[in-house]
Amino acid sequence: MTQGEFQDIFDVEHFITSLRGEVRILRELPPRMKQRVEVGMFHSMPPISWSDISYYHNQILPLIQKHKVLHLNRTDARLANNGLPLDIQKLRCRVNYASLKFTPQIEELGRQVIRILRKNGPFLVLHLRYEMDMLAFSGCTEGCTREEADELTRMRYAYPWWKEKVIDSYVKRKDGFCPLTPEEIALVLRALEIDRSMQIYIAAGEIYGGKRRMASLTSAYPNVVRKETLLEPSDLRFFQNHSSQMAALDYLVSLESDIFVPTYDGNMAKVVEGHRRFMGFKKTILLDRKIIIDLVDRYKSGSLPWDEFSKLVKSVHANRMGSASRRTVIPDKPKEEDYFYANPQECLRDPNLLRAL
């Protein structure tokens, strides 16, 4: 994220002052260093993913001392989930939950959306990852027409940095690696006995396939809303074509929802999950997509009656509601273990909750 992108989303002054006792943050480089950067005299590199403190002490610090300006051109997942000093883990939480505040405009608009929703009763936020770019990237085409599947394939080949090109959608879906479709999530919410009158707030961009793909969900839940339907166009005019600001708005609404349901485990879904744990284990339904796909297909084929389908969906998710749990640690396989930000157990306000586990 560039400086411009950061200040479009976050309150920079709050970020700097809130961390003053921990980290010295500069708004811009001193003149001589700035000149060096402008003529390309700086070192740029991606830190190794999932690294511990010794890597930064032994590898990164000497590079800073040598080059004076070091550009880390990758920042996601560059720090290990586990095995770090407690004060570092707590600092990560402090940054995420206290220092990173959205701009006043985003915060105010978020409060406005939440007020409108609260006025009409409880609401569930559905993080429905069913945008065109997500489907093209993942290669998931369940329920798409042949023309749509071809369009998604063309988009995937158009982006050279998307490494995986040939994808078997059928196998990927069966293995639980596809985002759930709007039709599938409609069945799951009904099976979980989510009240039909519940407001369903869609936290997402434009749903691929539009009204046709949303028909099952809007039929099962008539109170489906999104920021564009709750706010006036004038409220959103400064956010249009700024996907990160729109996502920040969805993030604020997701935090405050009565129930949060992600249909895919991307970064935002994981960070919202962890933030809601930090806020006191607010209900977050963590769907087991592989089991859900098997149950949905059996139900749709007629081999599983509705009552049995609903019973099984509920039993599978009885202990997947975002309650207190310890992170799963898998030595040497950090991508497969629980993500720190999805379960920041070191930062829980009541550590006794974990002692019994």
Cα(326)–Cα(346) distance, integer angstroms:
10
Is the separation of the CB atoms in 350 and 233 below 8 Å? no
For 31, residues 6+ apart whose C-beta sits below 8 A from its C-beta are none
Select from 28, 30, 34, 32 the least CA-distant residue to 4.
28
- The pLDDT of residue 352 is 63
Give the torsion through C-alpha atoms of 195, 197, 203, 208, to 10 deg: 100
Long-range contacts of 347-354 (CB under 8 A, 24+ apart): 347/89, 347/90, 347/93, 347/97, 347/278, 348/277, 348/278, 348/324, 349/278, 349/280, 353/281, 353/324, 354/324, 354/326
Q: Are 207 and 213 in contact (CB under 8 A)?
A: yes
In this structure, the dihedral spanned by the alpha carbons of residues 255, 257, 263 and 269, taken in order and rounded to 10 degrees, is 0
| CA-based torsion, 235, 215, 213, 306: positive or negative | positive
How far apart, in whole angstroms, are the C-alpha atoms of residue 184 and residue 189? 9
User: pLDDT (tens digit, 9 = 90+) per residue, 175-214?
Assistant: 999 999 999 999 999 999 999 999 999 999 999 999 999 9
Pairing of strands 224-225, 70-72: unpaired
- Tokens linked to 159: 């982006």
> What type of residue sits at position 285?
I
Q: Are 15 and 9 in contact (CB under 8 A)?
A: no
Compute the distance between CA of residue 92 and CA of residue 339 in angstroms, rounded to an integer.
13
Q: Phi and psi for 112 in degrees, rounded to 5? A: -65, -45
Task: Compute the distance between CA of residue 314 and CA of residue 310 in angstroms, rounded to an integer.
Answer: 6
Q: Reduce the DSSP state of residue 102 to 3 states and report it.
A: strand
**Which of these, 42, 101, 112, 29, lies nearest to 70 by C-alpha position?**
42
List per-residue pLDDT tens for the chain, 357 residues long.
Answer: 565 689 999 999 999 999 998 999 999 999 989 998 998 888 999 999 999 999 999 999 999 999 989 999 988 899 999 999 999 999 999 999 999 999 999 999 999 999 999 999 999 999 999 999 999 999 999 999 999 999 999 999 999 999 999 999 999 999 999 999 999 999 999 999 999 999 999 999 999 999 999 999 999 999 999 999 999 989 988 887 788 999 999 999 999 999 999 999 889 999 999 999 999 989 999 999 999 999 999 999 999 999 999 999 999 999 999 988 899 999 889 989 999 999 999 998 766 666 555
Rounded Cα distance between 81 and 335, Å, is 9
* pLDDT tens track for 258-282: 999 999 988 999 999 999 999 998 9
pLDDT of residue 1: 59
pLDDT at residue 271 in the model? 96
pTM above 0.85, yes or no: yes
Structure tokens at 321: 């509601």
